[in-house]
Structure 1
Amino acid sequence: MYAIDELPDEGLLGWQERALCAQTDPEAFFPEKGGSTREAKRVCTACDVRAECLEYALANDERFGIWGGLSERERRKLKRRAV
């Protein structure tokens, strides 16, 4: 057992191992143009690392797929509002 301050460093992308999308069909998160994003967004809603995922996508200018529960278009809007 580790004390809370002795936990091993999971690294910068360690959150990805805890992401619910890692346990589901990846195709749902990268739908064809015009395809439904509903299934992916439903998974994101219940995910504990949703905020880290969205932060990563925004910081790395991810242009495809559902990240942190948002589509590429929704992330662009969010970035414009933040500027």
Structure 2
Amino acid sequence: FADDSSYFFDASASVQRKLWERGDYKLTAGAGAWAGGQEGLTRFDIGPRANVHVPVGKSDMRFSLDWRQRIGGNAVPDSGVALTISSGF
């Protein structure tokens, strides 16, 4: 590890409602809050979120499309669209 190491944090929370479901496929939408930072740079965003849940074996993948409106902090980029791809196990 480097001697010049510093802290890093990342957090998120969202509330969502199911809009559509067919079999194991789902579409959900709601709102989220995201925060992150490291030494000298931070950001706090809020905004809407839409998710598509796709079954993969015994788990699923989730494609999340967000609008993240920066309401605090100094990290770039500015407000904008974010796509997150995740999977559970």
The two structures have a TM-score, normalised by structure 2, of: 0.20
Name the one with the larger strand percent: 2
- Structure of greater relative contact order (alpha carbons < 8 Å, 6+ residues apart): 1
Name the one with the larger helix percent: 1
Larger-Rg structure: 2
